[in-house]
Chains A and B, each alone.
Chain A
Amino acid sequence: MATDGFAVPQEKHMPPKTAQISATDSPAVIAARRVRKTFGDGRVLALEDASFDIRPGEFITMVGPSGCGKSTLLRIVAGLIDHSGGDMTVHGSAVTGPRNDVAMMFQKPTLLAWRTAVENVLLPTELAGAVTKADREKALSLLELVGLKDFAFSFPSQLSGGMQQRVALARLLQTGADILLLDEPFGALDEFTREHLNVELMRIVAEVNATAMFVTHNIGEAIFLADRVFVMTPRPGRLARIIDVPFARPRKPELQLTPEFNALVAEARAVLGGLE
């Protein structure tokens, strides 16, 4: 493996044992039952009753035009906002606020400008308590995992946009959360960098046994990355269709040229229909 330097203790990525105690008939790590969200005293329906189960280790992508509620759904799972109705459970317990087993990454790198790359990666550890030597080594090995071994002591201003997002990705993994929420993480980057990072992301998420929800505007990207694609439509935000993507992993970029792949693209496009 190209990343033998990766020395993250695996148990950190396992769901917390306590999560299993709660009564649930589903093995899903994330379970939504008619989850809805309204803004402005119920005037704006941002997300209409969404129901789904996400299994451990699944890579879910969410695609749809602007305003269809992708970020809203993600922020509900992250516990950053309350939902207006329905049940949202993670690891069998209801989501009531931000939690340790869920971590989120944004379109902007949101790095702290006064911290070096490795100090940024250590932030979640620092917020949770004292930083040990093992934490420091983990941070360095995560930087290596995302290909920034030689930039541990660079400040964000010294890094390109793509490298900054790699640091943000390392920080995301440093949390030890096994559910990773990624809201258009590479959306602000150029196409080449984005494709490259997408492939690496797939590899890394598989390597740390994480479950991922990944938002994108690009249908091809959504299908290429996903085990299942959530196709969403706006006004009101609705989870319109879930498309299974059966292709084996690891996937090569050439996959995108096959008729099977394009059939799925066509299916997603049909759902998004008149929405250009």
Chain B
Amino acid sequence: MSASDQIDLPKGMAGGASTRRILFNHLAILVCWVGLWEIGSRAGVIDPLFFPRPSDILVGFWRLYITQGNIWFHLGLTMAEVVAGFVAGSALGIGLAFVVGLSDTVRRFLKPYVVVIEATPRIAIGPIVIAAFGFGWTSKIVIVMLVCFFAPFVNTLNGIINVDRDQLDMFRSMRATRVQTFRKLILPEATPEIMAGLRLAMASALGGALVAEFIASNNGVGKLISTYTGNLNMASAFVCVLTLSAVGFFILRGMEWIDRWLVFWTDRERTEAVGRKRAQRWQKGGKL
């Protein structure tokens, strides 16, 4: 499904020993790659101007994180843009989807706009946004917002619309109020889809912020990359890229974890665990 599913290490099917061996194999292969790269570069097979030596990159890490320490500021700024844009964009997307999804008239009225926006590459509006909001972080947040808006919007809308008719009738026949139907049926029913939308949004949020910084910026990791590349300081540019890989990895993992925690019923192991917990709570007479 998602990229992070594919790099999932196989679960220890035959116990921890086998997992450790697989991990060891992966590490060994990685070391070989890096070694070959280093040797190839020193032997003049690989041009170190564009593909810096692993040793140079290592030195670059030391420089950017410790001696100069300048990446912290830019990374912090970029992450702030990502988080703010993601929160604002997806909140807007989900909120609007609920307004639209719960009213047939609004939905019919908005449909053509949705189709047009869906077909438009969001990043194309980037320069216009920058012209309107300036070079500062506001324009970056707005761009991340635009990038993060659509997936949660569409998914939430789908989640709401696809609620089973019989289930709605069931709630109606039990004389549920609108609020009850929303809270106890529509919202949980749409949650898996909403989460999938949020994961998509998060995956593109970082990219959105970087592109925005490429276009026009004085600060941020994107600006750092384009500056280093412009100065042919490739080792430092690689440090930035590798940093972003790590950040992206942890963000996606985090989203996955939240998804699994929230939408427990689509996962067999989690379902069993939650069932046991609920049984205990019931015995103690706790709230459901």
Contact = CB atoms under 8 A, between A and B. Distances in A.
B288 A80 contact: no
Given A78-B173, A104-B169, A106-B170, A114 B188 contact: yes
Contacts of A154: 275
Contacts of A78: 173
Interface string B160-194: 00001011011111111100100011001000000
Nearest to A119: B288
A269 interface: no
B42 interface: no
A161 B180 CA distance: 27
A187 interface: no
Contacts of B285: 133
Interface stretch (B27-35, B95-103, B202-210, B276-284): B276-284
A86 B227 CA distance: 80
A118 interface: yes
Contacts, number: 79
A103 B174 contact: yes
A123 interface: yes
A80 B169 CA distance: 7
A216 interface: no
Contact of B175 (A75, A98, A106): A98
Nearest to A131: B288
A116 interface: yes
A123 B276 CA distance: 20
Nearest to B175: A98
Contacts of A116: 275, 278-279
B180 A113 contact: no
A112 interface: yes
Interface residues of B, number: 29
Interface in A164-207: 175
Interface in B82-140: none
Interface string B253-288: 000000000001100100110111011001001001
Interface in A64-105: 75, 78-80, 98-100, 102-104
Contacts of A99: 175
A153 B279 contact: yes
Contacts of A102: 173
A114 B188 CA distance: 8
Interface residues of A, number: 36
Judged by DSSP, the binding face of B is: helix
A118 B274 CA distance: 14
A127 B174 CA distance: 7
Contact of A80 (B173, B180, B272, B282): B173
A117 to B, nearest CB: 9
Contacts of B185: 112
Interface in B2-17: none
A13 interface: no
Contacts of B276: 153
Contact of A104 (B173, B177, B274): B173
Nearest to A103: B173
Contact of B264 (A114, A123, A124): A114
Nearest to B192: A113
A55 to B, nearest CB: 23
A158 B180 CA distance: 26
B275 A155 contact: yes
A98 B173 contact: yes
A157 B288 contact: no
B68 to A, nearest CB: 50
Interface in B196-219: none
B175 A100 contact: yes
A34 interface: no
Nearest to A124: B174
A127 B175 contact: yes
Contacts of B173: 78-80, 98, 102-104
B130 to A, nearest CB: 43
Given A98-B174, A158-B275, 19 more contacts: A79-B173, A80-B169, A98-B172, A100-B175, A104-B170, A108-B164, A112-B188, A114-B188, A116-B278, A116-B279, A118-B282, A119-B278, A123-B174, A123-B184, A127-B171, A153-B276, A153-B282, A155-B271, A158-B272
Interface of B: 164, 166-167, 169-177, 180, 184-185, 188, 264-265, 268, 271-272, 274-276, 278-279, 282, 285, 288
Closest A-B pairs by Cβ, 5 of them = A153-B279, A106-B166, A113-B265, A110-B170, A104-B173
Interface of A: 75, 78-80, 98-100, 102-104, 106-108, 110, 112-114, 116, 118-119, 122-124, 126-128, 131, 133, 136, 152-155, 157-158, 175
